[in-house]
Structure formats: C-alpha cells, structure tokens
Amino acid sequence: MELKNLLVGQSGGPTAVINSSLYGVAAEARLYPEKIGTCYGMVNGIEGFLKGRVLDFEQALPGEELKGLLTTPGAYLGSCRYKLPEDPDDPVYSRLFEKFEEMGIGYFLYIGGNDSMDTVSKLSRYGRKTGSSIVVLGEPKTIDNDLVLTDHTPGFGSAARYVASTVREIAVDAGVYDTRSVTIVEIMGRHAGWLTAASVLARKFTGDNPLLVYLPEVPFDKEAFLEKIEECFSVNNAVVVCVSEGIRDKDGVFVCEYDSEAGLDSFGHKMLAGCGKYLERLVRGRLGVKARSVELNVSQRCSVSMLSAADRQEAVMAGRYGVQAALNKETGKMISFIRESDAPYSLVCGLEDVDRICNKEKTVPLTWITGEGTDLSEDFLKYVKPLVKGNVQIPADEDGLPLFVYR
C-alpha cells in the first residue's frame, strides 16, 4: 500500500508554544514510518501552499534539530490570515485538493485559532462533499483562549504568565514615588478578556496592584472608571489598571474608537489598539494626576522569556494527539483539552466537531467577574493557576542571547 504523506501548517497570530505543537506533530509523525511517508510543512499557511511553498521536515530540521522548535517563538513555518471563500464551488477548493493529491497528502493538520478552525471546517466539508479520503484536523492555538468546547488553548498559559509577570514588574516600578499616579496597561483581547483577567496573578497580597481590571465582557463606563480610581487612591497612591483592548461601552462602541476609527483585518475584525492611551489622557485631564499607559503589544504573544512548562507540555501533547487522531481517520475535528481535576491538576486530549467551534467565541464567565466588573473571583484563579506553572530553560548563544531555529 502506498504511504500517505502528512502536511501541517500554521495560521493566525503566533504564540510562545505554537512551534511546540508543530514539534509534537512532526515528532509523532516520525514514529510511524510504516504509515506516514513524508512530513511536510506549509510555508505561510494556506496562502503560501497555494503558491507552492512547502518544506520537508527531514531536510529542514533533521534528527535532534527538531527539538529547537520547543523553545522558538513566532511561527517557524510562517503564518497567514487567508480567508477561504464561503462558496464551496469556488475554484480555490479544487485547486487545494488537487495539490493535496499531487503531493500524496493523506493527512492535513492546521494549527491556529478561531479563523483557522473556519478553514479546517470548510476544507473538511468540501472533502466530504467530494468524497475525498484526506483527513483534515484542527490543532488549537490562541493566546486569547476563546475557542469553545475546550478547557483552554495552547498559548494562553505562557501569555498569561508573561502578562502577570510584566504587570508585577510595572506595579513595582509605579510605586517608587510617593505621589499619586495611574498606570494603564493595555492587553490583547478583542471580545474575550481571558488574558487581561490573568493580570490578577500579579498580586502578592490583598490590596496589591492591579487594583482595577476591565474586560470586554462587562460594559465600560468612563465616569464609573474615574470614580473607582479615586477610591483606589485611599488604598495605594500608585494605581495600576489593566484593560483589554476590546473594552466597549453599553452601546457596543469600542473605547479605542472614542479617539479614532479602527481599521479592519482580512476577516472583517476591527484592529483594536489605543484604549490605553485614551484612558491615560482621560485620567490626566479629569483627575489631574500623573498618568501613563503601557501597551504590551506583540511581546505578550511571542515572548519565550516567561514560557510556561505546563503550556509547552500540553502544546506538544496536542500535536502528538492530532497525528494519532489522523491515523485513526478522524476528520473535521479539533483537538480539545478536557480538565479532569484542579487539584491535582490533570487533563486529557479529546476531539470536538470543528463545525461547532469555528466562528464562536468563549468569553470569561460573568460569574467569575466581581468587584462591579473590575475584579476576578477565586474560581478564575483556580482555573488559571495550573496553566502558568513551571520554568523552561531557554538555550543561549555565546553572547547569552536566546537561541532559536530558523527556516
């Protein structure tokens, strides 16, 4: 019987562990030489594949070199934000499956977030419609932690750890002067505030910063916000506030739009940034105190300096499980995480119908948001703490700088 080849791609925004999932896929594929021929990688996702851009992992990262993916940030294969057409009769689908057939692809795994799961859904539905035997599976990835039907997503734990660690450092810096000040930290999260919520891990004691946390799940009121800051000054002269980039008012208007028009990305999502700067000016103008804003930006998604060992281990596990599922002819599914217990923390992988996942968003439960929309509950802390555990030693070069693998 002719061996079928495996193809894996990466899509959307990178994370600190998206390459760990890639390692899991490629390493697991090597364990089945009697079932899998060549393990190929899409360069720049679906978009690059359509241009004929692929690599062979045995040539690109032979032997032990593959392990370099485990401590390399970004997306080793390169990424894209390519939206497949809604019309299944669009010629792009036949082109893709013709290319799959030409390369002898029997298994296709796509690592990504919500929009990538939309791609997996469309390809698997086209495959079913045309009677293709090609297996199509989704490997979860997103720092936003907003994929439904999974306990959490690879990438969230490391990003959460980075956010909490950075906010703790910012809070220490903000408190060096005995004068009133407000520091606003803007954190990624368009509709789901999971990453901003993780900033509460920065606290070392009751009453520690961040004193206020604002998520997009709760309507933002700027007058109530200013009142809360005034109240916080009775606790601490240096107030640190963490806000999601996607906070919006009761009318659904993004706070960042108070200042300027937000652009759209290729999927039609508003590209949000700037609410921190707006709030900085609001605080300075209305309260007359020193104010500054800090936008964590891409560092929160790509940094391996605060890589969570638990997150990396689970990302590898998801990658390996995906290959096993592919060999079992599962298709149109996404690998999911099923939490078995909090203490001791344990979880297993599962499979969910990708059609039930794509284009849906998991938000922070309102029951976990306290303090009139400015704090998080113990239930959230119980949920998030296991995900940020464990240190990872990052290899360094002769200058002491991190050593990564490159294409």
Residues 42-59 have pLDDT tens digits of 999 999 999 999 999 999
Range 179-197 burial, b when 16+ CB lie within 10 A, else e: ebbbbbbbbbbbbbbbbbb
d(CA 365, CA 75): 30
pLDDT at 270 over 60: no
pLDDT at 1 over 60: no
Which of 206, 201, 214 has the alpha carbon at shortest distance from 166?
Answer: 201
- pLDDT for 257: 87
Within-domain flag for 237: yes
% of the chain exceeding 90 in pLDDT? 92
Same domain, 122 and 100: yes
d(CA 404, CA 384): 28
Q: What tokens appear for 111 in the block?
A: 């690592």
> How is 47-107 classified by DSSP, letter by letter?
HHHHTT-EEEHHHHS-GGGGGGGGG--S-TT----PPPPS-TTSHHHHHHHHHHHHTTEEE
125 burial class (0-12, 13-18, 19+ CB within 10 angstroms)?
middle
Structural domain containing residue 163: 156-302
- pLDDT for 274: 83
Average pLDDT over residues 185-190: 95
Tell me what the pLDDT averaged over the chain comes to.
Answer: 95
Can you give the CATH number for the domain in which 285 is found? 3.40.50.460
Phi/psi of residue 318, nearest 5 degrees: -65, -40
Give me the catalytic one of 115, 144, 146, 311: 144
Bridge partner list, 339 = 347
- pLDDT for 302: 85
Number of domains in the chain: 2
Same domain, 13 and 66: yes
Same domain, 319 and 269: no
Same domain, 146 and 166: no
Same domain, 49 and 70: yes
pLDDT at 174 over 80: yes
Establish whether 144 is a catalytic residue.
Answer: yes
Same domain, 346 and 220: no
Q: In sequence order, which residues have a C-beta less than 8 Å from that of residue 372 and are 6 or more positions away?
A: 224, 228
Within-domain flag for 389: no
Can you give the CATH number for the domain in which 32 is found? 3.40.50.450
Q: Predicted confidence band at 2 (pLDDT cuts at 50, 70, 90)?
A: confident
Which of 71, 70, 42 has the alpha carbon at shortest distance from 57?
Answer: 42
Phi/psi of residue 230, nearest 5 degrees: -60, -40
d(CA 188, CA 198): 11
